[in-house]
Amino acid sequence: MPDSFSPRAVVFDLDGTLLDSLTLVLEAIAHAIEPFGARPTAEIFAQLGGPPERFLAALVPHERHIGPAVRRMEAFHREHGHLIQPFPGAEPLLAELHAAGIALGIWTGRDRESTAYLLREHRLDHFFRDVVCGDDLPTHKPDPAGLQELLRRMGTSATDTLFVGDADVDVMGGVSAGVRTLLIRHSRRIDAGIMEQAWRTAAASSEAFSAVRTCVGARIRNLPSRGTATPGGAANSL
């Protein structure tokens, strides 16, 4: 990468960043609004980041449809949530960063119950110092309050943190919090204004994971030698 930024902390979005869930999320939204004559497109992912009541309101023809749509979406997720898998390479990356003493966090619009379930199910929960979910605070992405609260809990500064996400609201929230933000494009068209705000962009999660490794490389090389304790009690095994 052109500059020498080497973060002490990395914060990840969850859906579409660490978890390969976007197809299922789109199917869940389509199922939710089908009775009301609406159909979502992949562009909805640019705005995801809050409770379903918020984004579904823009997809159904009347306010009275929001409640039934939310219930249909929740039922779909309960039935199919087990199909969600981490992107290839997510777990090894998290393991490397954790072993290197990099503080890790999650800032997601997903609710806490399903977030906790997915992290436990895929044995990722132990990597993270803290997690802020979509129902933890009254504010939602792109409001930066969730990210700012997460940094406070993690004990890290905005200038020492890299945020990785796949939605426009991730970039907007990261920039508002003063955090460098790496945007995963997933082949969708990105507004020029969002592209300008993103610190870096990646075509897919695999490319983003490689970028994170490159970014923290200097930090890893400067850690104590093998077997020496690192921040958080982990031993540097790289």
What is the per-residue pLDDT for 236?
A: 31
Q: What tokens does 47 get?
A: 């705005």
Alpha carbons 66 and 103: distance in angstroms, whole number:
38
CB 119 within 8 A of CB 21: no
The tokens of 231 are what? 């921040």
Three-state SS string over 55-100 comes to HHHCCCCCHHHHHHHHHHHHHHHHHHHHHCEECCCHHHHHHHHHHC
Among 144, 104, 105, 115, smallest CA distance to 19 is for 115
Query: Backbone phi, then psi, for 118, in 5-degree steps?
Result: -65, -40
Asked if residue 43 lies in contact with residue 168, where contact means CB atoms within 8 angstroms, the answer is no
pLDDT tens string, the chain, 238 residues long: the values are 445 789 999 999 999 999 999 889 889 888 999 999 777 766 666 666 567 887 888 888 899 999 999 999 889 988 888 889 999 999 999 999 999 999 999 999 988 988 999 999 999 999 999 999 999 999 999 999 999 999 999 999 999 999 999 999 999 999 999 999 999 999 888 999 999 999 999 999 999 999 999 999 865 555 554 443 333 433 332 2
Tokens 């052109």 belong to which residue? 2
